[in-house]
Amino acid sequence: MRLSESVTVHAPVHEVFERLRDLAGAPEHVPGITGIEVLRGPARMEVGTRWRETRRLWGQDASEEMEVVSLREDDHYEVVAHHGGMVYLSGFQVAPVATARGEATRVTQDFEAHAITPGARAASLLMRPMSGIIARQCREDLLAIKASFED
């Protein structure tokens, strides 16, 4: 499964990228995140930073451990998570755009899920209908980041 969602944020690229990589501030800027526990590295993400992120999903707390595997300042970062025979890759890319309101940043979030065990491959068939729910969650996260600059 692959998903990609984008929004335009009326703020400079550097400011948007810094907010995206600020783990300590994530629960403040993204309401879907209820907790962050940094396990390794700084709370300002860099390659190798590892953390546990908790979200409230379907009335229950769900936590995933994630690790930054790629990061280019003011451009992108990518994280990986492993859970239940699945590998999840997600990332954010930022790019400057010109708008009628002036300087802005296009933020794109990509998400991929790959089954790596036979059981996970069977379960991934059940995930297909959930792709809309996951896309909506990505979109809500992006809109929350946008609102943190524009409201």
- pLDDT at position 14 is 98
Distance CA(30)–CA(40), nearest Å, equals: 22
pTM here? 0.90
DSSP state for residue 10 in the 8-state scheme: S
Q: How many domains does the chain have?
A: 1
- Is residue 130 in some structural domain? yes
Q: Determine the structural domain holding residue 87 and report its residue range.
A: 2-25+70-150
- Is residue 117 in some structural domain? yes
Higher-confidence residue of 72 and 115: namely 72
Q: How confident is the model at residue 122 (pLDDT cuts 50, 70, 90)?
A: confident
- pLDDT at position 39 is 98
- pLDDT at position 115 is 87
Let me know: does 8 contact 104? Beta carbons within 8 Å.
Answer: yes
- Is residue 57 in some structural domain? no
Tally the C-alpha atoms within 13 A of residue 34's C-alpha that lie toward its C-beta. Answer: 10
Q: Percent of the chain scored above 90 by pLDDT? A: 70
- pLDDT at position 42 is 95
- Is residue 125 in some structural domain? yes
- pLDDT at position 98 is 92
- pLDDT at position 56 is 83
- pLDDT at position 84 is 86
CATH code for the domain in which residue 133 is found = 3.30.530.20
H runs (alpha helix) in 56-130: 118-127
- Is residue 54 in some structural domain? no
pLDDT in tens, 43-99: 999 999 999 999 987 778 889 999 999 999 999 999 999 988 899 999 999 999 999
Element (H, E) at 107: strand 102-115
51 to each of 1, 6, 29, 57, how far by Cα in Å?
23, 24, 17, 18
In this predicted structure, the answer to whether residue 123 has a pLDDT above a threshold of 90 is no
- Is residue 118 in some structural domain? yes
- Is residue 141 in some structural domain? yes
Distance CA(71)–CA(46), nearest Å, equals: 6
Record the tokens describing residue 110, joined without a space. 């990509």
- Is residue 19 in some structural domain? yes
DSSP calls for 7-32: EEESS-HHHHHHHHTBTTTHHHH-TT
